[in-house]
């Protein structure tokens, strides 16, 4: 059965016209899905019963089932495990930080990129999510927060998977998130995180000049990055940075570089100096993320003083930088910890 969330407005028009329905039904259906967040066909009371019957026969609204949830003791982070119709896992995370309510959603079940420190990469690629499966993660949390009269403030697409390897479905989902008649989530409240695929960086800049771009760099030279991020052999650092320069020229938007700090591997002063030289003069910001533990990668984060020293060297190179603490690491909800299971 098809999922209704996979359909764009024009596709809904085509379907409803095939049933002899007037065009204004599209607005009613769209509003019910993305304005009222309905997840059952009997909630669409503005639609005639015969149309609801057709919709129920032809489409599902929920493209996955909830398996279980786990929450940090402070209640600030919640991780959801869902199961897709093909049986594969999907994880999403809700995070509270001050006045920000962020969700981290996935673009794939599993991931083919295989970053050495990442539990999702260890899981491997299972399934490209459809646009509806991406949107359904947002709607799940929207409904939950709506019960407490709360709203999502930020969406980060940096859960399971490499978004730019599922670009067409990602694009459809973001357009629906942005839609003023639907979820109406502003572009600057959405961030897409990629390992760095040059041609897709350029395409993304053309398609979404206001959506935030984050690139997982994690190394300051190709030899180091080849070890940590095998896809670097195909997309080395210099090609990524050239694409970033072109992206900035088109969008005039700052790019975020994510850098996982791993003790005795990429955290030394020489690494920081190389990174500072690479990024000096670029319209960018660096997020330093001390390594989060996973079962298969037997290394450790640097000591806090080493992290601060790395930051200070970047500051000396006039590179804006923040030390970021991943939320929910104790429930394996932090960067690199999503593996399709809760424990």
Stretch (H or E) spanning 275: helix 269-279
Alpha-carbon distance 325 to 317, whole Å? Answer: 23
Is residue 91 flagged as an active site residue? yes
> Is residue 336 in some structural domain?
no
pLDDT exceeds cutoff 90 at 164: yes
Is residue 238 flagged as an active site residue? no
Indicate whether 207 and 314 sit together in one domain.
yes
Terminal-to-terminal C-alpha distance of the chain:
32
Helices and strands counted in the chain (H then E): 11, 14
Alpha-carbon distance 270 to 333, whole Å? Answer: 31
> Is residue 111 in some structural domain?
yes
CATH code of 70's domain? 3.20.20.70
Q: What is the pLDDT of residues 206-244, one digit of tens each?
A: 999 999 999 999 999 999 999 999 999 999 999 999 999
> Is residue 290 in some structural domain?
yes
Indicate whether 213 and 80 sit together in one domain.
yes
- Residue 119 — very low, low, confident or very high, per pLDDT cuts 50/70/90? confident
- Residue 27 — very low, low, confident or very high, per pLDDT cuts 50/70/90? very high
List of residues 6+ apart from 152 with CB closer than 8 A: 101, 102, 103, 138, 141, 142, 145, 185
Q: Please, which residues bridge with residue 65 across strands?
A: 83
Indicate whether 239 and 307 sit together in one domain.
yes
Indicate whether 12 and 137 sit together in one domain.
no
pLDDT exceeds cutoff 70 at 204: yes
Torsion sign (Cα): 38, 44, 46, 51 = positive
Q: How many domains does the chain have?
A: 2
Indicate whether 45 and 80 sit together in one domain.
no
- Output the pLDDT for position 343: 45
pLDDT exceeds cutoff 60 at 197: yes
Of 73 and 59, the structure prediction assigns the larger pLDDT to: 59
Q: What domain range is 166 assigned to?
A: 65-331
- Residue 308 — very low, low, confident or very high, per pLDDT cuts 50/70/90? very high
Q: What is the pLDDT of residues 284-300, one digit of tens each?
A: 999 999 998 777 787 89
Indicate whether 52 and 163 sit together in one domain.
no
Q: Across all residues in the chain, what is the average pLDDT?
A: 93
List of residues 6+ apart from 45 with CB closer than 8 A: none
Indicate whether 27 and 137 sit together in one domain.
no
pLDDT exceeds cutoff 70 at 310: yes
List of residues 6+ apart from 164 with CB closer than 8 A: 170, 192, 194, 195, 197, 200, 201, 204
Question: Annotated catalytic residue: which of 104, 111, 115, 335?
Answer: 335
DSSP state of 292: P
> Is residue 342 in some structural domain?
no
CA 296 centroid distance within chain: 23
The closest of 149, 164, 147, 144 to 103, measured between CA atoms, is 144
Q: Give the whole-number percent of the chain exceeding pLDDT 90.
A: 83
- Output the pLDDT for position 290: 93
- Output the pLDDT for position 341: 57
Question: Annotated catalytic residue: which of 8, 11, 91, 118?
Answer: 91
Of 245 and 126, the structure prediction assigns the larger pLDDT to: 245
Indicate whether 303 and 262 sit together in one domain.
yes
- Output the pLDDT for position 340: 54
Tokens 């320069």 sit on residue: 245
């Amino acid at each position: 059965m098809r999922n209704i969330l996979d359909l764009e407005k024009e596709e809904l028009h085509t379907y409803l016209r095939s049933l002899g329905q007037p065009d204004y039904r599209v607005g009613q259906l769209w509003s019910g899905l993305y304005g009222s967040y309905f997840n059952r066909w009997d909630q669409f009371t503005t639609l005639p019963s015969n149309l609801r019957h057709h919709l129920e026969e032809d489409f599902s609204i929920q493209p996955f089932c909830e398996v279980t949830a786990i929450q940090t003791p402070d209640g600030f982070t919640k991780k959801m495990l869902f199961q897709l119709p093909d049986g594969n896992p999907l994880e999403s995370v809700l995070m509270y930080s001050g006045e920000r309510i962020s969700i981290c959603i996935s673009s794939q079940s599993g991931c083919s990129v295989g970053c050495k420190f990442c539990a999702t990469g260890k899981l491997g690629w299972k399934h490209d999510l459809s646009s509806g499966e991406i949107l359904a993660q947002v709607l799940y949390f929207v409904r939950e927060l709506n019960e407490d009269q709360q709203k999502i403030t930020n969406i980060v697409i940096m859960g399971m998977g490499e978004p730019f390897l599922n670009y067409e479905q990602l694009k459809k989902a973001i357009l629906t998130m942005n839609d003023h008649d639907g979820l109406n989530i502003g572009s600057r409240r959405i961030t897409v995180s990629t390992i760095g695929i040059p041609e897709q960086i350029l395409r993304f800049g053309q398609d979404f000049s206001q959506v935030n771009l984050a690139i997982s760099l994690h190394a300051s030279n190709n030899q180091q990055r080849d070890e940590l991020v095998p896809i670097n052999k195909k997309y080395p650092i210099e090609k990524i940075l050239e694409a970033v320069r072109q992206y900035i020229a088109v969008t005039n938007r700052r790019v975020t570089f994510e850098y996982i700090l791993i003790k005795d591997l990429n955290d030394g002063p020489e690494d920081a100096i190389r990174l500072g030289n690479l990024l000096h003069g670029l319209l960018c910001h660096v997020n330093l993320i001390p390594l989060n533990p996973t079962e298969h990668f037997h290394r450790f984060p640097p000591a806090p003083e080493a992290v601060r020293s790395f930051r200070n060297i970047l500051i000396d190179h006039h590179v804006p930088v923040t030390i970021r603490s991943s939320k929910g690491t104790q429930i394996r909800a932090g960067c690199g910890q999503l593996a399709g299971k809760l424990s």
